[in-house]
Amino acid sequence: MTGELTGQIAVVTGAGRGIGRALAIRFAQAGCEVAAVARTDGQLRETVEIIEAAGGRSIYVVADVTNPHAVQAMVQSVQADLGPIDLLINNAGRALAIGPIWEADPDEWWLDIETNLRGAFLCCRAVIPEMLVRQRGRIINIASGHALGPSPYFSAYSSSKAALLRLTDCLANELTLQEAGVRVFAVSPGMVETRMTEYLFTSDAGRKWLPQLANVPRGTTDRVVELAVLLASGSADVLSGRFIQIADNVLEMVQHVEKIRQQGLYSLRLHKLPEPNRP
């Protein structure tokens, strides 16, 4: 255990496998007590067993992040078992609605939106009141580079992740106005080999509508978990509200924070033609 975050309580959603499991393990290595959250009991048990075998402390809570009652109960359970929550990592995600918008199953399309956006919203809403009381806390929303482009035939996922960037931006500004001491970031992990991305490559819909993804190099979770730990440490609190990708040099960004703020960098913005010269 390296101890960068010793004594902090972290909640990681979607922690049963993939990026979420890697984040839960790494935060435990950094000294956190970790609450692993997902819908599948068996997968969560494995995550907790891995953490405890390495000497960490972890619990798991089975919960559907799209259900407000389940999310509230999850937060109350974590607070009762571990203590006040210092870190929330909104990682739970879904990407099953693939294909043209006019052919999309409305329920599948909306489930992607609900998991990726509503889930993060509900978890933020549940943990922030206690963070406000304590005047401390950090939230990391796992977003995607798909938020930055139109992503044809992948509209639900890209729309939800673009909305997650705006949610991050709005929340960061609200917390700043409240002088709350709570920071929030959006992070892109890049293309990582997970069960979700494997579906994009191997499913009939993925092969038909997203064949270009098969040629995108897949990385490991190493860079995104290290980025998450860096943000959780407080070293980049001045970047609250920004969208940070794994290739970005965070410490250099910190040095140029005034320029970033003035020019609205690392955030969703509408770019327009320059205003004509006025007399």
Residues classed as catalytic: 157
Say if CB 5 and CB 32 are below 8 A apart.
yes
Q: Which helix (H) or strand (E) holds 32?
A: none
Say if CB 184 and CB 231 are below 8 A apart.
no
The residue whose two tokens read 């949610």 is 167
Taking CB atoms within 8 Å and a gap of at least 24, the contacts of 174-179 are: 175/128, 175/240, 176/240, 176/241, 178/132
Q: The dihedral of CA 131, 136, 137, 138: what is its sign?
A: positive
Residue 185 DSSP label: E
Q: Please name which of 248, 211, 208, 210 lies closest in space to residue 230, comparing C-alpha atoms.
A: 248
Q: How far is CA 207 from the centre of its chain?
A: 26
Q: Please name which of 17, 18, 68, 67 lies closest in space to residue 44, comparing C-alpha atoms.
A: 17
Q: Please name which of 35, 32, 31 lies closest in space to residue 12, comparing C-alpha atoms.
A: 35
* CA pair distance 105, 155, nearest whole angstrom: 12
* CA pair distance 52, 260, nearest whole angstrom: 41
Say if CB 153 and CB 210 are below 8 A apart.
yes
Q: Cα-atom radius of gyration of the chain, to the nearest Å?
A: 19
